[in-house]
Every structure is written in C-alpha cells, then in structure tokens.
Structure 1
Amino acid sequence: MDLPRQFVIREGDLRILNPFDAEKLATLGRALKLAPGTSILDLCSGKGELLCTWARDHGVVGTGVDISTAFTAAARQRATELGVAEQVRFVHGDAAAYEGEALVDVAACVGATWIGDGVPGTLEILARRLRPGGMALVGEPYWRIEPPDQATVEGCDITNRDDFQDLPGLVGLFGEQGWDLVEMVLADQDSWDRYAAAHWLNLRRWLDDNPDDPLAGELRQELTEDPLRHVRYRRDHLGWGVFALIRR
C-alpha cells in the first residue's frame, strides 16, 4: 500500500502538500487558539508539517496517518528536526480505516476528502475520532468563479462541475451536515502559484536527471501541459481553504 511514484516526484522537497504556504498554516494554528497538550489526529498527514510545526509552536500532541511511505518517512524526519518527536508520531496506513487508541480534540483531513468520497463522508470519519465538543479541520477546493464550460471543469482536474461547491455552497454544506463553521483560512492566487510552480521545477529537475525512466514520458507531458492549464483555468476559477468545524 503506497502512493504511486508520480506523487513523490511531483511534491519533491515541498513540506506543505497543498496550496497553503507556511504563514497561512501558522495563521490557522494561531486562529484556533491551540492550548498545550491539545491532541490532534491528522488523516492524510503528508510530510507532517501541520503536526510538527504546531507541536513546536503550540505544544500540541498527536498522530499523523498517510498512505505514502516516502511522506511518512519525511514527516518523522521533520519531527526530529524540529525537536518534537516525543510529541507527535506518524503512521503509514489507510487514513480512512485508521482507528487509533483514543478520541482527540482535533481531527483533520486537509486536502484529501476523497477518503470519505467527499465532504459529508469525510466529516463522518472525523466525527468518529473526535471527543464531544472537538473540532474538525477540512481542507477543500471550491469554485471562486463559476466555470463557464466543461473545458474549465476538466482544467481544474475534475470531470463533473458538481464535484466542487462555490464558497457559499461549501459553507452551506457544512451546516447541512450539522456542523458550525468556527474558523477558516483561505488560499490565494499567490499560494496557488507557489504550489503549482514548485511542481513544475520538481518535474523538470527530475526529468533532467532521469531521462530514461519509464515515467519520463508521462511526466514530460504533465510538465508541458500543466503551466498553461494552471494559468488558464485553475488559478482564477478554483479556490482552496481549511475550514474549522464543531458539531452542533
């Protein structure tokens, strides 16, 4: 059980594997008023930057679960680098099926609601891991501008316009599922650019070093097509944010 190599190559040395920068992640941590000892379960934790930096800055404790062996190893290394390896741990496994040992104060799934086949199912997974009154964190795309045609929808890496809500629709969906929205931090076009463009550089460096790899043709095509797709479609039409929710 692991992520395909394409994901590891594309993310390269990035620490945050979504269109958030370090300042936005820090802003979110401050906005949530995290107390020392707050317990967090981070499903699809990537390279562990949320848990590791919040453990350093706020004294939280917790567990991250991710299907990627490479990302899990990087998260453990990051915990050691920041001196928080006694506060956080990282588990390689299926985030959707992870049970854990105890209920937590904060359960997060930032940018991977596919684990529950969308927002409603992911909120159900998070709710099962939360203590009464606990907080869920969901990272999710939304339409900044209504897509005018199917080409725009597909340029944002989906096939169905209804796979994403606009921002009012997403906030309304949280309420329909029985949750109060209590905080949010949204990506902007610059953080989208930093994330997308970092992929292009990672791909180009890898292609230069691995011209005969079996993946070279596929990743060459991605590098050729993705910059135009980003500036034509994703950058203007697609937003992204992390939303803090408490069940009613």
Structure 2
Amino acid sequence: MDIPRIFNITEGAHRIHNPFTPEKLATLGEALRLEPGTRVLDLGSGSGEMLCTWARDFGIIGTGIDMSQLFSEQAKIRAEELSVADRVEFIHGDAAGYVADEKVDVAACVGATWIGGGVAGTIELLAESLRTGGVILIGEPYWVQLPPTENVAKGCYAGSISDYLMLPELLASFGDLDYDVVEMVLANQEGWDRYEAAKWLTMRRWLEANPDDDFGKDVRAQLTSEPVRYATYTREYMGWGVFALMAR
C-alpha cells in the first residue's frame, strides 16, 4: 500500500505536505485553544508535522494514518526528534474508512478529502471518531479567482472549475451540512511557494542521484514544466485553508 511514486519523490523532503508553513500550523493550534491531553486524529497525516509539533507545543495526544510508507516512517522519526513518540502514534494504512477506537476531541483531514469522496463524505467519516462537542478540521483548496476556462482549471490540477468553490461558497457549504465554522486559518503566498517550489530542488537532487532509473523521464518532464505551470495557474487562482467545524 502506497501513494503514487511521483509524490514520494517530489515531496520526499517536505515536512508539511500542503501550503502551510510551520508558523501557520502553530497559529492553527493556538486558534483551536488546544490543551494538554487533547486527543487528535489526523487522517492523511503525511510526515506527521502537525501532530508532532502540537504534541510538543500544546501537549496533545495524537494518532495519524497515512498511505505513504515513506511519509509514515518520516513521521515516526520526527516524533523521536521532538521527544513526543510517547504522545503520538503513526499508522501506515488507508485512512479511507478509518474510525478511531476511542472518541477524539479533534478529528482532522488536512488536505486529503479524497479519502471520503469529497468534503461532505470526509466530514461524515471524521464525525464517526468525534466526541460530542468536538471539532472537525478540514483542509481544502478554494478558488481565489474563478478560472476563466476549464483549461485554466486543469492547469491548477483541478478536474474542472466545479471541483472547487470560492471562499464564501465553501464556507456556506459547511453550513449546508449543518456545521458551524468556528475558526479558519488560510495559507498565504509564502506557504504556497514553499510547498510548490521546494519540490523542484528535490526533483533535481533525485535525478542527480538516480541517473539510471526508468522513472527519471517522468521526473524530468515534471521538473521542466512545473515552475511555469505553478506561476501561471496555481499561484494565481488557488487558495487553501484549514476550517474548524462544530456540529449544530
């Protein structure tokens, strides 16, 4: 079980697999008013930076599930580095359908809502692990400006314009699901640049270290096209944020 190889390569040096910076992760933890002993479930936990830093800074207890073998291993290493391995657990597995044995205070899916077939299905899945009165966290892209054509949307790696909403419509959609939006922290341009541009050096280093790998042509093609694609499309049209929800 693993994610497509290209993602393990392009994001292999990332600690955060979304457009958040470490400062934004800290801001989110503060915004949620996390207290020691708060139980957090993170579906699609990546390399574990959110749970590990929150365990260090706020004293939370966390469980993360991720399909990437590499990222799961990196999460465990990070927990050891920050001396929080006794507070956080990382499971290499499929987060789709995962329900915690013990109800949690915060149930999160930060940037992987495909596990529930979209935002609504992911919220429904997370709610199964959540205690009454708990908080759901959803990390999701939105349009900063509406793409003028479907081709522009595809340049942002969206299937179509309808894949994402403008921010006001995204916030309204949570209300349509009978949830209050109680907090939000939005990525900024620096976060987007760090998330996307950091992939380019990683790809170049991988190509230098693996000159005979048959997959090299795919990595080379992506490295050649990504800077211009990102600057033309994603950087101009896409936003990203984490939204804290409570059931009404």
Matched, 1:69 2:69: yes
SS of alignment partner, residue 182 of structure 1? strand
Correspondence 1:71-150 to 2 at 5 A:
71-150=71-150
SS of alignment partner, residue 86 of structure 2? coil
- Structure 1: give runs of 5+ residues left out of the alignment: none
Distance 2:208 2:62 in 1: 39
Misfit runs of 4+, over 4 Å: none
SS of alignment partner, residue 142 of structure 2? strand
Letter in 1 for 2:111: G
Letter in 1 for 2:148: P
**What corresponds to 2:187 in structure 1?**
187
- Structure 2: give runs of 5+ residues left out of the alignment: none
Percent of aligned positions with the same letter in both sequences? Answer: 57
Distance 1:118 1:12 in 2: 25
Matched, 1:60 2:60: yes
SS of alignment partner, residue 175 of structure 2? helix
The offset of 1:7, in angstroms, is 1.1
**What corresponds to 1:235 in structure 2?**
235
The offset of 1:211, in angstroms, is 2.0
Q: Would the aligned equivalents of 1:207 and 1:220 in 2 still touch at CA under 8 Å?
A: yes
Deviations 1:191-224 (A, max 9, x none): 1111110001101111111122111111111111
The offset of 1:4, in angstroms, is 2.3
Q: How many residues align?
A: 248
**What corresponds to 2:42 in structure 1?**
42
SS of alignment partner, residue 14 of structure 2? coil
Q: How does the TM-score come out when normalised to structure 1?
A: 0.98
Distance 1:107 1:190 in 2: 27
Q: How does the TM-score come out when normalised to structure 2?
A: 0.98
Deviations 1:59-108 (A, max 9, x none): 00010000111111110111111011111100111101222211100000
Letter in 2 for 1:134: G
RMSD (CA atoms)? 0.8
SS of alignment partner, residue 63 of structure 1? strand
SS of alignment partner, residue 101 of structure 2? coil
